[in-house]
Chains A and B, each alone.
Chain A
Amino acid sequence: MKYSYFLGCQVPARVNYCELAVRRVTKALGIELIDLQGAGCCGCYLRSVDFRVTLGLASRILALADKQGLDLVLLCNSCYSTLTETTDFLKENPELRTETNELLAPQDLEYTGRTKVKDIIQVFYDDYGLQKIKSKVTRSFKGLKVAVQYGCHLLRPSKSTKFDNPEAPHILDDLVEVTEAESIYWPLKLWCCGFPSLPMNREMGMMLARNKFRAAKDAGADFMVTTCPSCQISFDILQPSIAKHYGEKYDLPVLYYPQLLGLAMNMDYKELGLHLNRVSTEPILRFIKEKRIEATA
């Protein structure tokens, strides 16, 4: 299993631990990731400014992957929806495709439409397979309750992203439950984390994250699991400042899914970057430790 691997902007700028966990876990599973050389911004941030700027930047990434001849794997939901939507725009509008290829030609690049765009979660679930993932799990999280967060841009717009049932997704829930932790029902599961609003209005972005912390806590979550680096930044990196802003306390650990999978595969927490999460992951590590004592007793 070999893929072209595109990191995006957010991960190296804010959450290197997400990438660390992905690299360690994929290596352990025998999934090979080949870095997409020369790639930059997918254009998602500039879609508000100009449609064609985003189309140009996104097509460039797709064309680079075309050249490498492998399916493209992403960590970032924003990149995922930008690239899947761009694929649709180029497929539905031949004149856009011509225009785009004229733009890319001087860089010796061409959008051919061959490349499939996949989120790392789809690689785990569809390509590697849920049952095979389950067979690699050696550590049980039975007794822990998880609030899972898909993030908007895997699920929507579903016409382009084609990720899962947008109203009742189950892929991440299933992947969490291979660890025997329980994926709980929580009311705001499908809602936005607020991250995309932060550059224009910090307060409004924080409001959405706060609503989600409260909903997850009320539903009895021990921790949250995300698939999206933006959600991860909103929930983990910004959690202390949001708590302070509202004079509240959440103390809700937030794991990026590959971190949980790695732990369930008996990998060391430092190898998965859990010491770099902003909100202490100590409660989860304590659970593992106590469980081990229980098992040997």
Chain B
Amino acid sequence: MTEETIRDSELDPDFKFKIAKTYEGKTVLWCVQCGMCTSDCPYSEVWDVKPHQVIKMVLLGMRDQAISCQSIWQCSTCFMCAERCPQGVELGRVMFALKNIAAKEKGVPEGYRRFGQQVIETGRAMEITASREKERERLGLPKTLTDSKSIKSLLKKLKLDKLLKDKGGKKQ
């Protein structure tokens, strides 16, 4: 983490409670900053903001820094942090809670936007190309049948299209 002065006036002291109220982030307040998550994270050595520091940001109310840091998006979601936390903090899930806020406010990163569009259009996150379908036929595997219409209407209700469009200009 880069050295910087944290100004009291810029903190959002309620942020931790807002995260704790989400389904994914409800364990965040239990953190005692022991650093176990960081010692077990495969990305600790390369991240500027280490896993336990992400939580510390939330606890201090460094809202903008927490939802802007790259660590939350680069997390491999391996859940080693949650598995080994002696306090029962589910950091992997807290990361999702933070990403959900970041997606809404700062826009969805391109990689995920593509998956989202793909699911809206085809009902699947990955395109099954014509050559893959042909391979399936050759191997005697059944055709993949997806009820993309039903999935599309479900996603319409969940407003995924809107989420993917909003704040589209801001790149992460």
Contacts and interface: CB of A to CB of B under 8 A. Distances in A.
Interface of A: 7, 9-10, 12-14, 16-17, 19-20, 23, 35, 37-41, 44-53, 56-57, 60, 89, 93, 96, 103-104, 106-107, 152-153, 155-158, 166-167, 190-192, 194-197, 199-201, 204-205, 207-208, 211, 273, 276
Interface stretch (B6-14, B61-69, B79-87): B79-87
Contact of B146 (A39, A45, A194): A39
Given A16-B132, A103-B157, A152-B79, A49 B99 contact: yes
B132 A200 contact: no
A89 B82 contact: no
Given A49-B108, A50-B100, A51-B96, A13 B127 contact: yes
Nearest to A202: B111
Contact of B145 (A9, A38, A155, A205): A38
A103 B126 contact: no
Interface of B: 22-24, 42-43, 46, 73-80, 82-83, 90, 92-93, 96-97, 99-100, 103-104, 108-109, 111-112, 114-116, 119, 122-129, 132, 135-136, 139, 141-142, 144-148, 150-151, 153-155, 157-158, 160, 163-164
Nearest to B147: A38
Given A23-B141, A41-B123, A51 B23 contact: yes
Contacts of B43: 197, 204
Nearest to A14: B126
A12 to B, nearest CB: 5
Contact of A192 (B78, B135, B146, B151): B78
Given A17-B139, A41-B123, A192-B42, 18 more contacts: A12-B132, A13-B124, A13-B126, A14-B132, A16-B136, A38-B145, A40-B119, A44-B125, A45-B125, A48-B99, A50-B158, A60-B151, A152-B79, A153-B79, A157-B82, A157-B93, A192-B76, A200-B73
Contacts of A60: 150-151, 154
Secondary structure call for the B interface: helix
A181 to B, nearest CB: 26
Contacts of A13: 124, 126-129, 132
B128 A45 contact: no
B85 to A, nearest CB: 11
Contact of A45 (B93, B112, B136, B141): B112
Contact of B83 (A40, A53, A157): A157
Contacts of B126: 9-10, 13-14
Nearest to A78: B77
B123 A40 contact: yes
A79 B139 CA distance: 24
Contacts of B23: 51, 89, 93, 96
A178 to B, nearest CB: 26
B139 A20 contact: yes
